[in-house]
Amino acid sequence: MSHLVSVACGAVLGASGRYLLTGWVSRALPGVFPWGTLAVNWLGCLVIGLAWGASQRALWSPQLRTFLFIGILGSFTTFSSFGLETLQLLRGGEGGRALLYVLGSNLGGFVLVWLGLTLVRA
């Protein structure tokens, strides 16, 4: 199975899981706060930590890693990848780069969403 097929198959599961969990949490906790997205992000971070730790103890095939990390978790939430990559930078002694990544991702993302919305409204 090619890596692209692994990603595609995993993406079906991850995106479906995100849709179902976000909807369930949003119905259980109605209001303006995005509890569903927060729950997905937190769960994705927990799962990627567990999976990464498990993958370090056992020899996982490249296809399995692609299926799980990019396919399932990448479509469930990219926030989990962001968390893992930030942790890897910190563990590698790259505190400055980790801070730049966190600030760039969050503040930069916010500014670009604002810019996109502003451009559409103009």
What DSSP line would sit under 35-101, residue for residue? HHHHHHHHHHHHHHHHHHHHHHHS---HHHHIIIIIIIHHHH-HHHHHHHHHHHHHHTT-HHHHHHH
Q: What is the mean pLDDT of residues 21-29?
A: 95
- What is the rounded average pLDDT for all residues in the chain? 93
Q: What is the mean pLDDT of residues 84-94?
A: 95
1, pLDDT greater than 80: no
Percent of the chain with pLDDT over 90: 81
Dihedral of alpha carbons 42, 45, 49, 54, sign: positive
- For residue range 43-67, list pLDDT tens digits in order: 999 999 999 999 988 889 999 999 9
